[in-house]
Amino acid sequence: MGGFSFEDVHSLIIFSCDLLAQGEKMESEERNSQMDLKSTEAFLQKRIGSDFHFVDHRGERIPFHQLGKPISQGKISLISSGGFYLASQEPFDTEALLGDLTYRVIPNTVTLDDLSIAHTHYKHQYVLADLNCAFPIELLRQLEAEGTIGEFSKSVYSFNGYLLDILGIEKQLAVQIARELKENQVDAVILAPV
C-alpha cells in the first residue's frame, strides 16, 4: 500500500465507515422508525429497572484539544469499537443487555489472523476482507514507517461498541482507557467506530 498521508488515512477511515453504514442503511432506517430513544428507554426500564435512563449529550459542545507538537513527533494509538480481541483474551459479552463495558489491550503487531470479533451489531465480512476499515492498524504501522507519525503506540484498544450504558462509558470505560493512554504517554488517538 504505497504512500498514504495522514489525511489519506483519515479520509479512508471515514470512507470505509460510510461504506459499512450504507450497507445496512435500509435495515437501520426501518429499525429506527420502529423504535426511538424514548421507547428503547421504556423497554429497558421494564427489563432492568425503572432507574435506567439514557444520557443524551447531543447538542452539547464537544471538547477539543490541539496537539502541542507536529504529528510527525507524536505518539499515536488506536481505539476501535469493533469488538476485537486476541484468542488468549476473553471474548466480549455479546449477550449483555446494556453491552459489555470492558476493553481489550492488543499489541500493535497483531494481524487479522491473530484477531477474533465478538460484536453482533455489524457484518464482519467487510472487516475480514480489509481489517483497516474498522481497525486501521496496518495503515498506522505504515505511517510510522514513513515518518508521518512519530511513533505508533505499542498497545491499541478495542471494545464492543454496542453500549447503552452511557454513564458507564463516561465514568468507567473511557476513564480506564484514558488512564492507560496517559501512562503510555500517547499524544493522540485514531478512533475507529463501527
pLDDT in tens, 96-122: 988 999 999 999 999 989 999 999 988
- What is the model's pLDDT at position 7? 53
Nearest C-alpha neighbor of 77 from the set 150, 26, 15:
150
- What is the model's pLDDT at position 36? 67
Average pLDDT of the residues in 4-28 = 45
- What is the model's pLDDT at position 40? 76
Nearest C-alpha neighbor of 153 from the set 105, 192, 101:
105
CB 102 within 8 A of CB 180: no
Domain limits of the chain? 6-55+71-192
Q: Which residues contact 20 (CB under 8 A, 6 or more apart)?
A: 122, 123, 126, 133, 134, 194
- What is the model's pLDDT at position 18? 46
pLDDT in tens, 107-160: 999 998 999 999 998 889 988 888 888 999 999 999 999 999 999 999 999 999
pLDDT in tens, 156-183: 999 999 998 888 998 999 999 999 999 9
